[in-house]
Amino acid sequence: MKPLSRALFRAPTLDLGGFINARVIRDHSKRKVFEANEQRRQALRYMIRNTALPAQVRASAQLHLTKMHCYTRPTQINNRCVLGGIARGVFRDFRIARELGYFINEDDQIRQIANPTQKYQYKVNRNDRVNEVYKDTMNTCCRRLVDQRLKALGLQTIRLPLGTTATDPHVPIYASKDVEQKKRVIIIFGERHLEPGIFSYRVMGEEGNNIGSAISLVESILNKNSSHTAEDDVPGIILTNPGQLLWYRGRGRAVTWTEWMALPRESAVHESFRIDPDKNKIPKNGDYREHVGCVFDDALPELLHKDAKVDIIGLEWTGNAVVEYLSQHWPIWQGQIDGICFCEPQHTIPDLINIHGAPQSLIDFLSRRSRAYLLSDKPLDTPLEERDECGCNRYASGEDLYQENIIIRSWPSMLRWFEELSSVEGFEEVEGPFDGQVQAITEDI
């Protein structure tokens, strides 16, 4: 038999008898090509499954295997794991943080197994696509850890829009148990690009998983040793989800834009999946503004007691969406909302009045019963100037670099302020100048 020197799947000589057609010729040629490459294929598969090898070696073997010419396109797709991890590829093995080469130390920090003092390393390959998938896989491990800890604290998952099943397109949010019976409920509107319960992946890895997520905040609210005298006095908690607004049908779950861009593709050079407005968008949650409206219109009327007081924490643009919504629905919520804290606020009073039609009663409420925390190199709670832009008093957050870290540094101050609003009759913000506030802060210290 002559060597296979022509087309990949066309043997010049056939050593079989019987009925011959194009399919028989094709299948016979494939078997011959497989035989010629079987030894190399098995070696690559062994390297991929050998968890003792470095991650970069296994990833390189995975890429070599997917490029072997003896594979048909469906087989190549299977090896590249675009089926969502069904294939036994290297990226499926990476779903376990320890196999990524990292572990959680005694300080709840993420460190490298090979070098326990080394933090997470983003660049593991010259290919940016590999780095992005690697990072998303690490983030997936962090998300699962936060989800487990939140549920261990008693939080439950609620699907929006209400009434959707687990297989329908939906956005998951977290709510504490018996939230419908609580007298006070604290609602957190997080960042647009992050999952619920996640504040900063950077801080989770460097300082601690509880610190960089909502775990520490939730633990503080639910702490039975606090000043709350009864179970009913413990505030309820709702963690909204303005980030996971794309529906990934391959795994039947909502994802963020960042995770969507890291979903498995046919190869590292292929474009990301196209977003179908009908199949990949979630009803009533097309963007973060619609999600805020869905929370207020659909979720809160069903989840909250009719007499419950609501405290709101809005991070950056989601806080802006909250006040834009309230500008048009203030008569409905005026009696329930007790206070609002903004992290790096993006709204302006002229826009609220001229564009969104905010009533004067809302402007007065923002001035007296809301406050904003901003990036600053000054100590936490230090009063800042220029309150007129956002219509409320502004304070240093204790963070001077990253906006996403503002809530991490300042949530203890926010909770203390909410507690004073609810427990001290007539307590309100001083509408500047700040002499009285500075004196009060000095006395507390």
Q: What is the pLDDT of residues 149-166, one digit of tens each?
A: 999 999 999 999 999 999
Residue of 264, 260, 234 lying closest to 246 (CA atoms): 260
* 344 and 411 together in one domain: yes
Q: Is the pLDDT of residue 60 over 80?
A: no
Residue 32 has what pLDDT?
74
Q: Is the pLDDT of residue 68 over 70?
A: no
Residue 75 has what pLDDT?
47
Residue 102 has what pLDDT?
82
Looking at the domain assignment, is residue 253 inside a domain? Answer: yes
* 66 and 197 together in one domain: no
Structural domain total, the chain: 2
Q: Is the pLDDT of residue 91 over 70?
A: no
Q: Are strands 383-384 and 393-396 parallel, antiparallel or unpaired?
A: antiparallel
> Which residues are 255's β-sheet partners?
246
* 68 and 194 together in one domain: no
Q: Which of 90-94, 211-215, 324-328 has the lowest mean pLDDT?
A: 90-94
Which residue did the predictor score with more confidence, 75 or 182?
182
Looking at the domain assignment, is residue 1 inside a domain? Answer: no
In 1-92, which ranges are E strands? none
Distance CA 394, CA 341 (A): 10
Residue of 262, 222, 307 lying closest to 139 (CA atoms): 262
Q: Which of 258-267, 311-320, 338-347 has the lowest mean pLDDT?
A: 258-267
Give the mean pLDDT of 412-436.
Answer: 83
Which residue did the predictor score with more confidence, 34 or 443?
34
Looking at the domain assignment, is residue 212 inside a domain? Answer: yes
Q: Is the pLDDT of residue 70 over 70?
A: no
Residue of 191, 189, 192 lying closest to 174 (CA atoms): 189
Contact yes or no for 303/158 (Cβ under 8 A): yes
Looking at the domain assignment, is residue 337 inside a domain? Answer: yes
Q: Is the pLDDT of residue 18 over 70?
A: no
Burial of 439 by CB count in 10 Å (0-12 exposed, 13-18 middle, 19+ buried)? exposed
Range of the domain at 141: 137-423
Structure-block tokens of residue 281 = 């968008």
What sign for the dihedral angle of Cα 270, 271, 272, 275? negative
* 218 and 86 together in one domain: no
Q: Are strands 110-112 and 253-255 parallel, antiparallel or unpaired?
A: unpaired
Which range, 134-138, 369-373, 382-386, has the best average confidence (pLDDT)? 369-373
Distance CA 382, CA 442 (A): 10
Q: Is the pLDDT of residue 128 over 60?
A: yes
* 82 and 206 together in one domain: no
Confidence of residue 228 (pLDDT cuts 50, 70, 90): low
In sequence order, what DSSP letters do the residues of 246-306 get, joined into one string? Answer: EEETTTTEEE-HHHHHTS--SSTTSPPPP--TTTTBPTT-SSHHHHHHHIIIIIHHHHS-T
Looking at the domain assignment, is residue 82 inside a domain? Answer: yes
Residue of 97, 77, 87, 103 lying closest to 48 (CA atoms): 87
Distance CA 383, CA 374 (A): 10
Sheet holding 337-343, edge to edge: 155-160, 171-176, 236-239, 184-189, 309-315, 337-343, 370-374, 393-396, 383-384
419-423 own/partner pairs: CB under 8 Å, 24+ apart? 419/227, 421/311, 421/338, 421/339, 421/369, 422/184, 422/309, 422/311, 422/338
Residue 131 has what pLDDT?
85
* Omega before residue 433 within 30° of 0, cis: yes
Residue 232 has what pLDDT?
64
Structure-block tokens of residue 79 = 């090896």
Q: Is the pLDDT of residue 88 over 50?
A: no
Helix (H, G, I), strand (E, B) or coil at 427: coil
* 78 and 145 together in one domain: no
Which residue did the predictor score with more confidence, 117 or 212?
212
Which residue did the predictor score with more confidence, 50 or 188?
188
Give the helix/strand (H/E) hosting 34.
helix 22-49
Which range, 34-38, 84-88, 400-404, has the best average confidence (pLDDT)? 400-404
Read off the CATH number of the domain in which 387 is found: 3.40.50
* 241 and 369 together in one domain: yes
* 73 and 179 together in one domain: no
Q: What is the pTM of this model?
A: 0.75
Distance CA 128, CA 20 (A): 47
Residue 405 has what pLDDT?
95
Looking at the domain assignment, is residue 41 inside a domain? Answer: yes
* 76 and 213 together in one domain: no
Residue 229 has what pLDDT?
53
Q: Which of 44-48, 178-182, 217-221, 253-257 has the lowest mean pLDDT?
A: 44-48
Distance CA 289, CA 314 (A): 12
Q: Where are the alpha helices (DSSP H) in 304-394?
A: 317-333, 349-354, 360-369
Read off the CATH number of the domain in which 73 is found: 1.10.287.1480
Residue 78 has what pLDDT?
43
* 80 and 147 together in one domain: no
* 70 and 208 together in one domain: no
At position 109, the amino acid (one-letter code) is Q
Q: Mean of the per-residue pLDDT values for the chain? A: 83
Residue 15 has what pLDDT?
52
* 47 and 172 together in one domain: no
User: For 385-420, what is each residue's pLDDT tens digit?
Assistant: 888 889 999 999 999 999 999 999 999 999 999 999
Distance CA 57, CA 44 (A): 10
User: For 323-376, what is each residue's pLDDT tens digit?
Assistant: 999 999 999 999 999 999 999 999 999 999 999 999 999 999 999 999 999 999
Distance CA 222, CA 68 (A): 56
Looking at the domain assignment, is residue 197 inside a domain? Answer: yes
Looking at the domain assignment, is residue 210 inside a domain? Answer: yes
